[in-house]
Amino acid sequence: MKVIELHKSVTESNDRDADALRSELKIMKTFLINLMSAPGSGKTTLLMRTIRDLKDELRIAVLEADIDASVDAERIASAGARSVQVHTDGMCHMDAGMTRTGLEAMGVGDIDLAFLENIGNLICPAEYDTGAAANVMILSVPEGDDKPLKYPLMFEKSDVLLITKTDALGYFDFDLDKCIERVRRLNPVIKIFPVSAKTGEGMKEWEDWLRENTAAWKA
């Protein structure tokens, strides 16, 4: 398993670096998704199921960012996608320069759909444009329906919200309608997909969104 040690990007403008990376990815026809959430909400599990469902249609790769450890990249590789692990030298987010270094190490020239699994954290990753074409976040049922109130920025910055672990709705006081209403107040245009990576519920809608948006990016 390839592991890359990253250091903080020395750059004047992360936003400018992010725009440049996005333009290059557009030319390469690689649709990059920045996947963000709190630790343990189910990013890797969701990616593994998505890869298994789509790998015969799309060439998929995953850049796995963690402060330490390489277990997630190994899990992704076992699901059948190219994967590289990057370590962030203690930092709680990925910026555009770090994303570029990771993507170059992984190689995405032949890839249709690339994911960056960002560091598990609901705060810092939302503050940095990574150069991705779309921001997707996960909120899992056990975390609670009040998270949009406490961590509004990530909900504001995301194009898609996946509300995961819906198979556990019966065990938690999670009000799905109330949660969606809170999110829509912050971001009226966000797409919301309730899903369970365990049972597969809702995965088709999410995967259709991926198919459509990957095709649109490549057009």
Ligand X SMILES: Nc1nc2c(ncn2[C@@H]2O[C@H](COP(=O)(O)OP(=O)(O)OP(=O)(O)O)[C@@H](O)[C@H]2O)c(=O)[nH]1
Instruction: Provide the binding-site residues for Mg ion, judged by CB under 5 A.
Output: 43-44, 72
Q: Is 164 in the site for ligand X (CB under 6 A)?
A: yes
Give the binding range for ligand X (CB under 6 A) out of 18-26, 83-91, 160-168, 169-177.
Answer: 160-168
Q: How far apart are CA 115 and CA 132, in angstroms?
A: 9
* Closest chain position to Mg ion (CB): 44
Near ligand X in 47-106, by CB under 6 A: 72
First CA to last CA distance, the chain = 33
- Among 30, 34, 44, 50, the residue binding ligand X under the rule CB under 6 A is 44
> At closest approach, how far in Å is the CB of 74 from Mg ion?
11
Q: Which residue is nearest to ligand X (CB)?
A: 120
Instruction: Pick between residue 17 and residue 141 the one whose CB is nearest to Mg ion.
Output: 141
**Alpha carbon separation from 52 to 49, 59, 66, 111, 122 (Å, rounded):** 5, 11, 23, 16, 27
- Which part of the chain contacts ligand X (CB under 6 A), choosing from 105-113, 144-152, 159-167, 179-187? 159-167
Give me the residue label for tokens 């999110």: 183
- Whole-angstrom distance, CA of residue 163 vs CA of residue 40: 13
Site residue total, ligand X (CB under 6 A): 17
Task: Give the one residue of 30, 34, 45, 135 binding ligand X; rule: CB under 6 A.
Answer: 45
d(CA 193, CA 177): 12
Bridge partners, residue 142, by sequence: none
Residue 135 belongs to what H/E stretch?
A: strand 134-140
From candidates 160, 165, 194, 207, binder to ligand X by CB under 6 A: 165
The rounded distance, in Å, linking the Cα atoms of 127 and 143 is 21
Query: Among 7-15, 43-51, 84-92, 170-178, which window interacts with ligand X (CB under 6 A)?
Result: 43-51
The CB-of-117 to Mg ion minimum distance in angstroms stands at 6
Residues ≥6 apart with Cβ < 8 Å to 131: 17, 18, 19, 20, 21, 22, 25, 32, 96, 99, 100
By beta-carbon proximity to Mg ion, the closer residue of 35 and 190 is: 35
Residue 95's Cβ-count burial label (10 Å; 0-12, 13-18, 19+) is: buried
Residues that bind ligand X (CB under 6 A): 37, 39-45, 72, 120, 164-165, 167-168, 196-198
